[in-house]
Chain A
Amino acid sequence: MLISLLILLFFSIILEGTITALPLVLICLICMTIVLRDSFIFLLAFFAGILLDAFALRTLGGTSIFLLVIVFLILLYQRKYEIITYPFVLISSFVGALLYLIIFGYSGALILALVSTAIAVLLFMIYRLKVKDEASREKLRYS
């Protein structure tokens, strides 16, 4: 799971840095934070942000700060509420993507945020299916 998410993050950095305006890295990090809930995601957010700034010729560190704050807010929220749910993925990815697109000056932010939300929900759906599949296999093994 971790390796596949890391590979996904790597390709998201390359794609967002070169050919697409969609905030794929943010979406990927939000999904990783929801699924893994581990503090090492701060490290990923930091390096992903620096690389994205280098690709987009932005001031280095700006994207890192944004990504770190988003990851921290999700980790804070999960202490009080259940976050592995579709509504949380939907709202967090939409609000996160919209803020990101507005702060970094992208035009058509609303449409891009909606597409990003759809991608986030799709990623989460794949994760849920995979977890379900693994659970049923475990059940079969012990029965």
Chain B
Amino acid sequence: MKSIKAVFPIFVLFLLISLLIFFFSQNPLTGGLQFITLPIQRFMFIASSPSTSTTSVQQLQEENSQLRQQLAQIQEIKSDDAALHDQFQTTTPAPQKLLPVDVVGLQQNSLILGKGQDDNVKVGDVVVFKNNLIGTVGRTTPRLSLVVLLSDQSTSFTADTTKTAAEGIVKSENGGIVTLDNVILSDKLEKNDIVVTKGDQNVQGQGYPPQLVVGKIVSVDKQASSLFQSAKIQSLVNISDLRMVFVITQ
């Protein structure tokens, strides 16, 4: 092992390069690196998905494998087509505002989408699947964007229930549990009632549009001694199954 005198300059050199990159050269480098990372992410996301896994016996049969690949491609086109068809039949949000985007990665409390600034995706854009709210765009690069899911701790917006019209604030607790909080005790919360966004868009069109489905109530926490009651919400969409989502562009 080299002495500290030999190690220290190397450490300082790499630290300086890292700091320079950190503060000065973000966009050109990010764009270039995503040429490498995007195909890997796309491949790994599809490969790790349970719906595309095959048994080991089938993998050994060369001919079957080729046919299966063709079938998978056709099915993928069909499911994309069905998703597009479903989405554009949904009246809320308006179809002309929707940008279909492939999901290329899934991380803790976030999704990575295959479109970014080059496709007019902006920070704050709302992401939906059919009329289900998925999250908002938290960060964009030229070719990719990161969607902050509802399970993220930064989540906070007004919503109400469809059946009882109880109003509250959707929040996320540590551990990714989404709740409808700050509901006054006189309002009624019912299990299996659907929670939808109340709508809090500004003049520029940014923010959550109304009537997007947040999820269904799975349990209610009401205590007479508390000021407010709350309910746990479960999304109607399985995030890990999503292949394509829709960004509401302004």
**Which residues of chain A have a CB within 8 Å of any CB of chain B?**
14, 17-19, 21, 37-39, 42-43, 45-46, 49-51, 54-57, 59-62, 64-65, 68-69, 71-72, 75-76, 78-79, 106-108
- With A14-B44, A39-B6, A64-B18 known, 13 other A-B pairs at CB within 8 A are A14-B40, A18-B105, A19-B106, A39-B11, A42-B11, A54-B30, A55-B37, A55-B41, A60-B25, A61-B21, A65-B15, A75-B11, A107-B174
Complex CA gap A38/B6 in Å reads: 10
Contact A61 B108, beta carbon cutoff 8 Å: no
B119 vs chain A, min Cβ distance (A): 15
Whether B1 contacts A78 by the Cβ 8 Å rule is: yes
Contacts of B29 in A (CB 8 A): 50, 60
Collect the chain B residues with CB atoms within 8 Å of residue A21's CB.
Answer: 107-108
**CB <8 Å contact, B40 and A61:** no
Q: How large is the interface on B (under 10, 10 to 19, 20 to 34, 35 or more residues)?
A: 35 or more
- 22 A-B pairs with CB atoms under 8 Å apart are A18-B48, A19-B106, A21-B108, A37-B1, A39-B2, A49-B18, A54-B37, A55-B37, A55-B40, A55-B105, A57-B145, A57-B146, A60-B21, A60-B22, A64-B18, A65-B18, A65-B19, A68-B18, A75-B1, A79-B4, A106-B108, A108-B175
Task: Tell me the total A-B contact number using a CB cutoff of 8 A.
Answer: 104
Residues in B with CB closer than 8 Å to A46 are: 14, 17-18
Q: Closest CB-CB distance, A73 to chain B, in whole Å? A: 10
Q: Which residues of B contact A42 (CB under 8 A)?
A: 10-11, 14
When the two chains form the complex, which single residue of A55, A61, A78, A79 contacts B22, counting CB atoms closer than 8 Å? A61
Interface residues of B in 18-69 (CB under 8 A from A): 18-23, 25-26, 29-30, 33-34, 36-37, 40-41, 44-45, 48
Q: Is there a chain A Cβ closer than 8 Å to B139's Cβ?
A: yes
Q: Determine whether the beta carbon of B14 is less than 8 Å from that of A45.
A: yes
User: Across the interface, do B11 and A72 meet the contact criterion of CB distance under 8 Å?
Assistant: yes
Q: Which residues of B contact A37 (CB under 8 A)?
A: 1
Those 10 A-B pairs whose CB atoms lie nearest each other, nearest first: A61-B22, A18-B44, A61-B21, A54-B33, A64-B18, A37-B1, A21-B108, A57-B146, A61-B18, A46-B14
